[in-house]
Structures are given as structure tokens and as C-alpha cells.
Structure 1
Amino acid sequence: MRLMLCSLAALIVATPALAHTAPKISVETLKSVTQELSSDAYEGRAPTTGGEKKTIDYLVKRFAAAGLEPGNKGKWTQDVPMVEITATNVSPFTATGGKAPVTFNYRTDIVAGTYRVVPQVALKNSELVFVGYGINAPEKGWNDYAGLDVKGKTVVILVNDPDWETKDAGPQAGPFEGRAMTYYGRWTYKFEEAARQGAAGAIIVHDTKPAAYGWSVVQSSWTGAQYELAAPNDHMDQSEVIGWIQLPKAKELFAAAGKDFDQLSAAAKQKGFRAVPLGMTLSGSFSNEIKRSMSKNVIGVLPGTTAPDEVVLYSAHWDHLGRCDAVDGDDICNGALDNATGTAALVALAEAYRAAGPTRRSVAFLAVTAEESGLLGSKYYAENPLFPLGKTVGGVNMDVLNVLGPVKNFEITGAGKSELEDMVKPLLAAQGRRVSEEATPESGGYFRSDHFSFAKLGVPMLSGGSGEDLVDGGAAAGRAAAEDYVRNRYHGPKDEYDPNWNWAGAVQDLTIYYQLGRQLADSDAWPNWYPTAEFKAIRDKSRQEAK
């Protein structure tokens, strides 16, 4: 089967002469769009704020200037119904019933919120139960909730997968693919499963290494306005309280319960672990300010010549965190790298396509809202597509460009899933670059950006970009820069535009994205998932329905 896949990729790559032609990617466009969208005037681009309106107006202007046409039946935007919930009057959460009470102060020790659209939330003496990694995976014979009734109780959960510390990554490395995070390791899954089990509360223990970011990221992301897609049931099927606690406070809690946190955490890594009641209860409350409004996805399209109903898709999220916890007096999370750069890439690629002339299939450029709130804009589009998913050939999602300079390698996020990977490899070889393993597969990057919304519904989307092996400085310099960004700027007020950025690496990547998309747009091929990929069945079904 692999030989067939490689042959398919080779055929596609060889077909259009334009495939290997390097497009002209405008660095000036990348700079100007990034600088504009990440300026303080946009107030961090939070959905449903004045910053959103400015963002949408600017993107429509740039899409039109790039030669795109409105992608929603004559409109540039798609309405995304949102509900905004802001916790107020948060009381300190307190655990009692052990050797001594443990108090969790809001922001510094705990962040708490809810998906439920209700004016008041209160946990009162909710029994605390440690459920290890909070995973129920029947296909792996793993159930941390086995024999347990957590209705009305609050579960305490470890972040990531049980085998995240394994050296190797891949299906043979451990029950949960070793070092590479599976969806079971994502915080979104853990809250979803806790709700399915009927838990009143779900609290994840924050630990920097397995979370892949520090507490400051949790604090800035989980305080202030929180967004969710509007739902007829107001999300009343979710847990009353969801949140995170600091690792030292978790250890304090377990000690007060007469338990050894490290010992139980080690036990939770083993198959057959059974949940442990802590013999303590948790209480706490807060009010909610509720606002219902429409956010917007922005979509432009270059119609195809002979197969306009078949679509190649480029996506990036335009939103960021808006106003957030202040650092050195600055309370605007500008989101320059994350993701004004990716949004700028949409404009630059649109210009390159327009300059190169029309393609056989249509090419769509989608800027989605509320990625930072759980991929909400892309989820809404994927469930309410403007172009049928069965007719969406595939594409590229762009989230944070490389502004450190040219690199020798390219990392495919969540490698081993789709035939798009085979198509990319010869394009990279033409640049003298190699494909390398993800530097931090334990961070779960595959589940943290908008391509995942499309993948879940069957559309192959490439997620990948510059690795850490810089031409100037090597892998050590690249790793140091990545760690510095996560530590000091990611999801904080210091993610700001820098006129000294080196865009050569971004241009390398955008050239690959263009060439891949152009191949798809000029061919009649339908790349699929590999036979082992979890998304193949739904792709096959949607393609069959589209024929």
C-alpha cells in the first residue's frame, strides 16, 4: 500500500509544471498585515469585541485587494453564534475534611470556569476523587473511571497521557503512543470525559513539562471572558466547574488527604489503575456575566476554471486573547506570532495565487475565529461548511510562522496520517530540507490548531512548518528560541511585532504551502488518509456521498 501511496504522490508532483515554480511571496505583505493586526489598536483581537470588528474590516479589505471574491454567496463572512462567559465574584475554593483545610486562591492557585450558560455556579462539599489521567479508552483496555460513580463529585486529573515521559514516539512506543500525545492527553478530552461520566467538577493538575507551557499561559487563557459556541441546551450536559490547579497546591491537597501525590501519579501510569477517593470535599462559587453575540469567520475564494465546486483550503485563525492579565503594566495580548503571522500568510498566498493565474479547482482562504477558545470557529465551519467537505480536496492550516530565519528541516505535526505528507517530501527535497520528527510531540500540537476540526470530519489538512535546525545557529539555537518564546511571550502581552524579525524561514514554508496547494488545485487527485489513520472512514464516506 505504501508503494501505491508514494506512486500517487509522485504522479501528482510531476503533473503541473507550476508545481515546482517558486512563487513570489511578499515579505512586505507579511510584515504589514502582521504589524497591523498585532498593534494595540486591535486590543488583542478577542472575538465579539471592538477588536474583532477592526480585524474583520481589515481582512476583508486585504482579501479584496489581493483579488479574492467573497466566499459565502456574495458575503465575505460567515456568522458564528457565540456565548461569552466571564466569571466574577470568584470565591476562594476550599478543600476540607482532611488533616487541614486547603485554600486555592483564584488566578495564583486555581483557575475555574464553566461551559454552562448559567448566572451562578456553586460547588458545595463536592467529594474529591483522583482519577489519574481521566481516560476511558475501551479500544486500549484502559478505563480510569472503571467501577466508579462520580455524579456530584469533583475529579482531579493529571495532564497529558500516561506514557508521556517515554523516550520514543509512535504506536509501538506505548499504549498511548509514548512521547507523542494522543487526543486522550488533551485537556479538552479530559473535560469532555468528566462530563460524560457525570462529574460536577473537573480539575486538571498543571505541570509545566507534560502541559508544554507554564502556569502563566493557563492564567492568561482561563481568566477573563471565555467563549463557547451557542447551543440549544446551553451546555447543561457539561460539568458545573472546570479548571486547573498549580502542581504545588495539588501536592498540598493530597498531603492533607493523607496521600502521596508522587506515588499515586506513578500508579496512574499503569494499566489497571483504580481511582482513589481523597476523603475531602471541595467548595467554591462564582457568578457569570453572560453575553450572546455573533463572531465571524472570513472567507475569500479564487474560483476554479473547470472544477470550481472542488476546493483547496488554506486556513488560519485571526483571533487572540484580547485584554489579559497585565505584565509590566501591559494588559493587551497582541498575538503577533500567534496568529497575526498565519493570518498574514493567507493574504500573501492569495496574492501569489492571483499573480500566477487561475487554477483548475477553486482555492479558498479561510480566517477563523475563536481558535484560542477551543478551535470554535473552525469547528463551526467544519460542521456548517460553505463548500461541502466531500468536495474539499485538502489543504494547509497555518498557525505561527517562523521569524527566526531559514532552517534545514521541516516538522510535520502528527506525522503518519495523510498522503499529503508524501506530496510534501519532494518539495522539501527541492529546497534542500529534510523532514524531521517533531521536537516536542508530547505537547500535542496536532490537537491544538484548526486543522484538527477538519481532520475529525475527514478533510486532510497539512499542519507543519519550520523545525528547529536553523541555518544560522543550528538546532541548539532553534530550541533555545522556541523555549524562550513559550516561556516569555506565548499567550502573554509580550507576543508583539518585532521589525527585526527574519522572514526567510517563513518564505521557505509558504513556498511549500503554495506548491502543495497548487498541485492539488491543478490536478484531479483526491489525497486520502493512510489506512491506519482514525479519520479515513469518515473521509471515505463523505467522498462517496459527494460523488
Structure 2
Amino acid sequence: MTRFQITGRVAAAALLLAAWPAQGQDFSAERLSQGVRSISSDAFAGRYPGEIGEGLTLGWLQARYEMLGLEPGGPDGEWLQPVDLTRYEPARPARAAWRAGGEAHPLADGFLLRAASNDGRAQVSGAPVVFAGYGIYAPERNWDDYGDIDVEGAVVVVMSGEPDGALFNGDYRTAHASDAAKAAEAYRRGAVGVLTLVDATAAEPAWARRAQFNDRRRTLSPGNDDLEFTGAVLAATFGQWAEAAGRTLEDVTVDLGGGAFRAMALEGVTLDVDAEETVETQRSWNLLARIPGTERPEETIVFSAHWDHVGTREGGEGDHIYNGAWDNASGTVGLVEMARELKAAGPFERSIVFLHVTAEEQGLLGAFWYAANPVWPLETTAANINIDMLPLSPPTRDLPIFGYGQNTLEDELQALAGAAGRYVSDDGQPEQGFYFRSDHFAFARAGVPALMPWHGVDWVDGGREVGLPAWQAKFRSDYHQPSDEWSEDLDFTSAVENLTLLYRLTVDLADSDRWPGWKPTSEFGPVRARSDAARE
């Protein structure tokens, strides 16, 4: 497993430990438990956006922030930020053909596409085809699959994933591996569509899964790149295109992971696409509360958590409500309790915002909406701390985080954890890609240093031998299941421990002029660098 070496911070642990005031730090396991009990009750119906649970949850949150004396943090001095969720479904079967030498070849098998973006209509005629390897441009790693090729108006074909090896974080993949990052890079260069090359046959699971889910309804929000279409193509179909251009599939895809590859046009091969989607918009809401700063109120620390869950299910026997006590009533209530303690300890030089986002379960949509429409400028947002599923266990020595090795917030957290006899680690599950699966990622993608603490498994009593199997059993039994309900047996001890460290980190950062940064190998550093002038 590739891990980054923790580097020292200029701010020593002693300074961090001296920073927080005597008041505050009174996190209560009982208050956490009772808050979770409230908003994960059956009356909230699984907190699905657009249904009864949304209004109940937002009302519950607003009432508590008003009681604590926080001010509204949304647009125009309101508590709520409207979020428009745009849903797409194919209106009819898409039509496509590839052409070479004046001859048209209709595409049906071995080809999938969706026009789920902008107006839901894709009409492309005679678009040249470019194979771009992994489709990655990573200046922080001296990697460029595109080189000097012009892809304006072209369809870009890319391989999934990223090269193996330490250059791309080894077991822990980077954001460059995602379909969204590849689409964004192609769009930035002027492409009209992106197709993922699937090295499989039509009968293999890798293709069957894509085909099975291709026509499902998709929900998007701003921040997605407005390509005309995205999709996938089987190796055999792409091989025909390569041969029509005087090449073979093998010589086109050779040496993709060595760093010497550069994108190539399939000369004489073009694509025609005609696809249409029905478009429906649903209004949902983020909620924001704020503690304004005294000296530099334009500088902001954003805590985030998603208030939504997956609602209810129809039919069948047994419990029909996905109460979401752990995911993410725990994080939602954790933010309220953090606000309670910080309000008591403040005010601070910088502002602190508590952002409760919608539609995380549908693809981080509320967080991406905020990143595309920030109420408080992202250029002067010092950090995002995201809480998604507080740990529910006895005390732990470890404090895993998503994205270990990405930014300097982890070094400051390590200084605090070390003083408490604990240590910061990676999440231990590289195959899950956790860094890209919760709301902090919307901030990271926009360049804001983001921290996401996770569940410790190195229990003080019993170590990993006891803690890891206990966590695995709970995750298997309760994650996105009706069994994720409040009970008196939920143990919030480790949640209080983590919240206390995050509180101390926040107090120090809120009364400093320090700007956390991305580490040299982070893919998000170049994004943050574009706004350096705003923080000078």
C-alpha cells in the first residue's frame, strides 16, 4: 500500500494545543444520540429530497441554529440555498453511425451513449475520432496524454482508470481516474463527446453492467461539463475504427502506462450521433448557518454534512423506511453540536459556516451545486471539514481520514491527535475510492483543502483484532439498509473524541492567518493555485 510520509508543519503541536479556549469542548454523547434519534425517526421517512422528510429535517435544523444564536448563512441572509436537480431519461433510442471512406456503419451493439447534459439533445455530424489513452492531464505528475493534438469538435475515446504504480498513488487512485475528470479535461479542450473504451466482449460482466444501467434516469447539477454526449464502446467496435484508419487496436493502445504515449487521431474516421433525453427539474435545498468572523469575515471555514438519505421502498415485507441514523443523521447532528461548541467559544477572526447539503446519496449533488454557486467565495474558503457517518464505537487510537497525503490539514490534525495519544492514518480501503464519494470532494475538486475523518478500527481495548471485524460487521449489516436505526446501544464515545479534535483544529485555524495547502503531488494543487492572488 502506497502511503505518503507525514511532513511537519511550521505550527508546532505545542502551539496548536495552546490555541483553543477553556470554554467549549463539551461534546455530549447523550445530545448526539438524542439528535440522531429525532431526525432518523420513522416520521422523517428516510429524509429523501422532495418528500416529507426534507421539510421536517430543514425545519429541525433551522430551529436548533436559531436556538444557538447563529445567523442564516445562505444567499440574501436566508437559511436556505435553492438547489435545482436536473433529471434526464432517454426519450427514444439513440442513433449513431461511424463513417470511413464515405461509407456509413450504423452502431447498435458494442456502443452505448447518453445525452444527459445541458439541454438533453445531442446532434453531432462528422465528428473526428481521437484516441487519448487514459485521457489524463496531470501537470503535478508531469503526465500529459494529449500532447499538442487539437480535439476541438472531436469525440475523444479514453481508457478507464489510470496507470498502475506509485506515480498515480498506487493502491489509492487519484481523481484523474474518474470518468468525470476525463470528461472535464476533454470538454476543456473543446471535445463534443467522450467514450470509454471497454476491453471486454459483449458477454462479459464489465460490459453487461454498463449496458444494464445505461438507460436509467440520471440526476445532474451544475458543475458537470456540458459535453454533447458520453458513453462507452467495446474493444471490438473500436478495433474496426482503428483498422479503418490504417492501424490495429494493439498498436493504438500500446505503452499507455509508460508516459510516452500521446493522443492520436483516427484519420478518416468520423461519428454521427443523434440522441434526445427528457429533462425534468426538481427543487431541493441546502441549509447554511454562520458564525461571522470579527477580523477577516470574508475568510471562511466550512463544515459540511449531508442531511438526506434514501427514503423508503415499496413492496416486500418488513421495514420499508431507510432511517439513516448512521448515514447521515449522525453527521448532521455532529455539525449542530460543533456549532454549539464553537458558538460558545467564539467569535473568531475568521467566519465559520455550517453547510447541510442535499442529495448526497444521488451523487453529491447539493455539494456540487454549492461549489458551482458558492455563497461564500471558495478562493477565500480556508478549509472544508466534512462529516459523513460519525464513528460509533468505543475509544480508538487511530483516526483514519479519506485522502491521506493530500493536504496539510492532516498534519495539523496529526499534531493534535498525537498529543492525545492517537494517530492519523489512511482509510485502509483503497478499493472503495472513498475520497471521491462524499461531499468534501466537491470542495477538493474546486481547490479548497478538504478533510474527511472516518471510523477508527484500532480500539483502545482490543486493538485492530477486535475493532476491524466489529466495524466490518456493522457496515455490512447497516449501510444503506433499513436496519440503520437509532438504538440506545449506539456508542458515541469515538464520535465525541473525533469531534473534540476537529473542534481544536478549527479554533486554531479560525484565529490564524494561515492557509492550509495541497501537497506537491496532489491533483488539486494546480486548481487552488489559480486563485492564489485572492489569498495574498
Q: TM-score, structure 2 length as denominator?
A: 0.74
CA contact (8 A) 1:428 1:512 kept: yes
Q: Which amino acid aligns with 1:505?
A: S
Q: Which amino acid aligns with 1:115?
A: S
> Helix, strand or coil: the match of 1:117?
coil
Q: Partner of 1:527 in structure 2?
A: 515
CA 1:424–1:454: 2 relative to 1, 3 Å: same
CA 1:242–1:3: 2 relative to 1, 3 Å: closer
Tell me the distance in 2 between the aligned counterparts of 1:257 and 1:331: 49
Cα deviation digits, residues 294-349 of structure 1 (max 9, x gap): 43221112345566555433122223455689998988665544433221211121
Question: How many pairs were matched up?
Answer: 508
Tell me the distance in 1 between the aligned counterparts of 2:327 and 2:271: 36
* Offset at residue 514 of structure 1 (A): 1.1
1:378 is aligned to 2:378: no
CA 1:338–1:429: 2 relative to 1, 3 Å: same
Q: Partner of 2:191 in structure 1?
A: 198
Aligned CA-pair RMSD: 5.0
Tell me the distance in 2 between the aligned counterparts of 1:423 and 1:322: 37
> Helix, strand or coil: the match of 2:305?
strand
1:78 is aligned to 2:81: yes
Q: Partner of 1:16 in structure 2?
A: 19
Which has the greater radius of gyration? 2
CA 1:507–1:294: 2 relative to 1, 3 Å: same
Q: Partner of 2:355 in structure 1?
A: 366
Tell me the distance in 2 between the aligned counterparts of 1:284 and 1:369: 34
Tell me the distance in 1 between the aligned counterparts of 2:330 and 2:210: 20
Cα deviation digits, residues 402-457 of structure 1 (max 9, x gap): 22443221224333444433321232123321122342346444344333443455
CA 1:4–1:405: 2 relative to 1, 3 Å: closer
Q: Higher mean Cα deviation, 424-433 or 525-534?
A: 525-534
Q: Which amino acid aligns with 2:135?
A: G
Q: Which amino acid aligns with 1:271?
A: G
Q: How does 1:25-424 map to 2 (within 5 A)?
A: 25-39=27-41, 41-72=43-74, 73-80=76-83, 82-88=84-90, 91=93, 102=109, 114-118=116-120, 132-137=133-138, 140-143=142-145, 153=155, 155=157, 157-158=159-160, 160-163=161-164, 166=165, 173-174=166-167, 176-195=168-187, 196=189, 198-203=191-196, 223-229=216-222, 238-242=226-230, 268-273=256-261, 288-304=277-293, 308=297, 310-321=299-310, 335-356=324-345, 358-389=347-378, 391-424=380-413
> Helix, strand or coil: the match of 2:221?
strand
Tell me the distance in 2 between the aligned counterparts of 1:252 and 1:325: 41
CA 1:416–1:225: 2 relative to 1, 3 Å: closer
Q: Which amino acid aligns with 2:338?
A: L
* Offset at residue 352 of structure 1 (A): 2.5
CA contact (8 A) 1:298 1:366 kept: yes
Q: How does 1:496-535 map to 2 (within 5 A)?
A: 496-499=484-487, 500-521=489-510, 523-529=511-517, 532=520, 534=525
Q: Percent identity, please.
A: 33
Q: Which amino acid aligns with 2:512?
A: D
> Helix, strand or coil: the match of 2:424?
strand
CA 1:488–1:303: 2 relative to 1, 3 Å: same
CA 1:477–1:51: 2 relative to 1, 3 Å: same
Q: TM-score, structure 1 length as denominator?
A: 0.72
Tell me the distance in 1 between the aligned counterparts of 2:388 and 2:254: 34
Cα deviation digits, residues 66-98 of structure 1 (max 9, x gap): 432222454212233x24213156659999999
CA 1:252–1:321: 2 relative to 1, 3 Å: farther
> Helix, strand or coil: the match of 1:381?
helix
CA 1:384–1:356: 2 relative to 1, 3 Å: same
CA 1:419–1:201: 2 relative to 1, 3 Å: closer
* Offset at residue 262 of structure 1 (A): 11
Tell me the distance in 1 between the aligned counterparts of 2:312 and 2:211: 15
Tell me the distance in 2 between the aligned counterparts of 1:540 and 1:371: 29
Q: Higher mean Cα deviation, 421-430 or 388-397?
A: 388-397
Tell me the distance in 1 between the aligned counterparts of 2:390 and 2:494: 8
* Offset at residue 27 of structure 1 (A): 2.5
Q: Higher mean Cα deviation, 369-378 or 329-338?
A: 329-338
Q: Partner of 1:107 in structure 2?
A: none
Q: Which amino acid aligns with 2:61?
A: L
Tell me the distance in 2 between the aligned counterparts of 1:519 and 1:54: 34
